[in-house]
Amino acid sequence: MTDLENNKIKEESLEGQDLSFALASGAKTSNMPVRRQLAIVALLLIGVFGFGASALWLGGDGGGNDNQAASLSESVVSGEDKTDTERISFDDLELLAQGAIVIDVSSGRVLYQKAPDESLPLASITKLMTALVASEVVEDGAVISVTTSALNQSGDSGLGEGEQFSYKNLSDLMLLISSNDGAYALSAYVGGSLDQNSPEVAFVKAMNVRAKELGLSQTSFRNPTGLDISPTEAGAYGSARDVAKLMEYILKNSPELLEVTTYIDTAVYNEAGIFHQADNTNYVVDAIPHTIASKTGYTTLAGGNLVVAFDAGLNRPVIAVVLGSTHQGRFSDILKLVEAAKTEILNKEVKAKDNLRMGNQSSLYQWVLGALINRSIDQLNS
């Protein structure tokens, strides 16, 4: 119902109110039978409110018309001229992931979960905690050198021995391309301020202390990269719920840390002014609407992991996590969760607006009907 129609109804209601006051003050009343007046007013109400008023008059709820109204509203919101029957709901989901969760950050409501508290290998999602701890300990203006030990980590990020980066640039490179040598170099440097004799060990200890402080009860770290330690032991473990909590904490307290993870690619410069082309390991980052942050992970033990934060619309940040999927399955899994979350939140908003609209109509209808009954009683008593 448009604002113009609402205003028209309010004006008509006020006119009726003025009329009832006039009748009560002794103005000449009609000799028309009360039942006929009731019938006429009922027809007028149907004309004002449409089918909804007739449903109220008959004591019904409009049958399937609430669904039609919701579908129409959904079409308007999505910019389509017909109802979209192909939207994914959480009830329809089949995921490859062993653990998953979707959280509406604004309300704290869990929209979907699958084994959300099972502790699973985290792989490079570990680097979220690496970035957080480093940011809380590192001194301003820090310049970090890439060591031989860092280059011995699995995976080649194209870094050179002795190459120097600002702390921020190295952290960005680590998160965007999931650089293991970058993560190790960062942890070794920052860990040196905690314990010069065993900097890497001290840094990992700080990661676990921080996890405990944040209430990540299913999370533990063995290294700063998330790389598997052996064929049977992962470099880090955690649950889907813990990963969502960690992502939410970083976004609320240090959102600048993860801004780079929204890029498809970027150039990261070392201190000599030479740049490294950095491509996001989240291949579907541009397919997720209004991405706020993301981080991938993959090892033999972990399988495919992915966490994303995005705005589902109407300023509703959502965090979705999948753990233990496949290398490609993590992307299809997360896209399903993103689409289902958008549908869930959209339907909730549409339903709330429809309920408000129907409530306003019902209140106005009840007021008019009450005025009519009072008038009829006055006539019967006169």
Q: Hey, which residues are catalytic here?
A: 124, 127, 178
Report d(CA 30, CA 23) in Å as an integer.
10
Bridge-based pairing of strands 236-238 and 220-221 is: antiparallel
Name which of 242, 258, 252 is nearest 321 in CA terms.
Answer: 242
Please tell me the total number of residues recorded for the chain in this structure.
382
Q: What is the largest CA-CA distance in the chain?
A: 103
Q: Which stretch of DSSP H or E encloses residue 6?
A: helix 3-24
Report d(CA 334, CA 332) in Å as an integer.
6
Residues 196 and 212: beta-carbon distance below 8 Å: no
Which residue matches tokens 């998330």?
226
Report d(CA 110, CA 107) in Å as an integer.
9
| Amino acid identity for residue 115 in this structure | A
Which residue matches tokens 């921020």?
168
Burial class (CB in 10 A: 0-12, 13-18, 19+), 329: middle
* CA torsion, ordered 94, 95, 96, 98, to nearest 10 deg: -120
